[in-house]
Structure 1
Amino acid sequence: MPEKELPDWTKFGREVRRLRSQAGLSLSDVSSRMNISIGMLSKIERATRAPKRDTVGELDRVLCTNGSLMRRWSDVNRKVADPDWYRRVEDAEAAAVEIRLHNPTLIPGPLQAPEYTREVLNYGRPLDSDADINALLELKAKRAERALSGGDPRLTALVPEMVIRDCVGSPKTASAQLRHLVDLQESGKVTMYVIPRGVPTHISLSTGSFSLISFVDRMPTVFVESASGGELIDHPPREIQRFVSVFGLLQGWALSPADTLGLIREACHGFSVE
């Protein structure tokens, strides 16, 4: 019985075949230069087998593609791995004019520095392989890049003081994260408000981590994030208003952007980095 073609990998397989033919190499030639059988290479080209990251890295080297195959692999792998909710979030954020972020326990995702994100993922997903973690890092980095690209959407974030002063990972990682926040605030890419200690931030524990995504032509949408994924909420209006009210209440208690910047700088000095 012939093996079933994997539609998501068809274009990738054709591109591998095209590059191999363009280089004047046979299946045997490529196989002999890397750790893969002729049969497996043929399956990748026919899209009956999804390639692994290490294999694509070797193909990049043998076919001299300067990383283009790896980028294609990442795009396809993301499409295959992304749940439907993530694609819906991407579409919503692309159409947004404003995104308001709040996480009661961590720096909001788009504002995280890479090593901070890695620490969070390593602790929160102990069963994932390094390849899985790297794929998630790439996914989150692309989301952050879109959100911080300038212009729409405008980005606003509420961050509890406890989260600013908490040491996630090493002092070096924590310090780098705070410097990243300072850079973002100074660049105008995001407006941050620190919620000082003493404010009853526990009111947001009932909502958890969320993003309020606002548009020109329709009601806001709420993205509620969890350890295992997320959910987009666009009805009923009363439920949306609950998140709007929580965000507004916390923002009313928060420090000004200027005082927020001063507190983050002061907290950064509190981490001794060798």
Structure 2
Amino acid sequence: MANGSRQAAWEFFGAELKRRREDAALTQVELGARVFVSGGYIGQFEQAIRKPQLDVAQRIDEVLQTDGIFERLCRKLIDDPRYADYFAHVVELERLATRICEFAPTVVPGLLQTQEYARAFTIAANPFKTDEYVDEIVTARLERSRILDDAARPEYWVTLHENVLRIPVGGPGAMAEQLERIARLMRERTAVVTVLPYAAGAHAAMGGMLQLMEFQDAPPVAYTETSFSGTLVDEPAVVKRAHRAYDLLRVATLSPEASLAMVESAAEDFRLCVSTT
């Protein structure tokens, strides 16, 4: 489903939610209380500013007695075979975010990946999948990264563990190209990237990847991911803890200037490996 069609469908979801809520003689605050979100959230769902998670859509169906219509709509709109079930909603939120902060412990974040890096990583994670499957995943990842080309792009802050610069995904040539792309985005100030060096030792987010997203008219969320699953969190206390963990990471990173120098040096090392083979 194209982005424009998907947004129109979410607008239909919102309009239908408003109609069904008013038919039930409930205010946004009253419906929100019954499905365990704020009235402001309900208003954002109705305006298609924010998309509800599946469990919220299911609770709305229960309260409004709508025979599963909102669950079915939600499943259809977040169903994209190119993304894992737990990640599809994150992709929608990235498009709405005004600020994204990300920590990557081992792999270049998807928003920064080049085609060759994305392909090598996808094949490594899915060694028995067809070329067609790999192409779909890579295309989806590159489409995600287009939000950084938009004039209204979010502020993008990235902390890379030094692992990310050293693990040769796709071989020296692919890594050199990948690191050169990151360096270019840093120089163009499209993203603020800092590196957490090995010398920093233990850090506040050793459990895995962490992404924080902020929005113009909605509360922030946190997303964490391990090798086989991901969790999207909007509980304010947990999101606050995630922000604190990210702040602690930032304190331990190299400066932007020193980080750029390390990224460029690593890229040059991989280029030398290519030239000597």
TM-score higher than 0.5 here?
yes
Q: Letter of the aligned partner of 1:224 in structure 2?
A: T
Quote the Cα distance in structure 1 between the aligned partners of 2:112 and 2:202: 20
Quote the Cα distance in structure 2 between the aligned partners of 1:247 and 1:209: 11
Cα distance 1:129–1:164, how it changes in 2: closer, same or farther (>3 A)? same
Quote the Cα distance in structure 1 between the aligned partners of 2:123 and 2:177: 18
Residues 41-82 of structure 1: CA deviation (Å, up to 9, x unaligned)? xxxxxxxxxxxxxxxxxxxxxxxxxxxxxxxxxxx9x84555
What residue in structure 2 maps to residue 112 of structure 1?
Answer: 113
> How many angstroms does 1:228 deviate by?
4.0
Higher-Rg member (1/2): 1
> Where do 4+ consecutive residues of structure 1 move more than 6 Å?
none
User: Which range is displaced more, 219-228 or 124-133?
Assistant: 219-228
Quote the Cα distance in structure 2 between the aligned partners of 1:255 and 1:81: 35
Quote the Cα distance in structure 2 between the aligned partners of 1:266 and 1:196: 14
What residue in structure 2 maps to residue 130 of structure 1?
Answer: 131
Quote the Cα distance in structure 2 between the aligned partners of 1:157 and 1:92: 17
Instruction: Check whether the contact 2:147–2:153 (CA below 8 A) recurs between aligned residues.
Output: no
Residues 157-206 of structure 1: CA deviation (Å, up to 9, x unaligned)? 00012221222221111111111111111111111011122113453222
Quote the Cα distance in structure 2 between the aligned partners of 1:98 and 1:127: 37
TM-score (norm 1): 0.66
Pairwise CA RMSD = 2.1
The percentage of counterpart residues that share the same residue type is 26
What residue in structure 1 maps to residue 250 of structure 2?
Answer: 251
Please list, as runs of the form range in 1=range in 2, the aligned pairs for 1:134-213 lying within 5 A after superposition.
134-206=135-207, 208-213=208-213
What residue in structure 2 maps to residue 240 of structure 1?
Answer: 239
Instruction: Check whether the contact 2:82–2:140 (CA below 8 A) recurs between aligned residues.
Output: no
Instruction: Check whether the contact 2:82–2:136 (CA below 8 A) recurs between aligned residues.
Output: no
> How many angstroms does 1:255 deviate by?
1.2
Q: Letter of the aligned partner of 1:225 in structure 2?
A: E
Quote the Cα distance in structure 1 between the aligned partners of 2:82 and 2:261: 40
Quote the Cα distance in structure 1 between the aligned partners of 2:81 and 2:126: 19
Quote the Cα distance in structure 1 between the aligned partners of 2:102 and 2:247: 12
TM-score (norm 2): 0.65
Q: Letter of the aligned partner of 1:212 in structure 2?
A: L
Q: Number of matched residues?
A: 196
Cα distance 1:182–1:146, how it changes in 2: closer, same or farther (>3 A)? same
Instruction: Check whether the contact 2:169–2:175 (CA below 8 A) recurs between aligned residues.
Output: yes
> How many angstroms does 1:91 deviate by?
2.5
Q: Which runs of 5+ in 2 are unaligned?
A: 1-76
Quote the Cα distance in structure 1 between the aligned partners of 2:178 and 2:125: 18
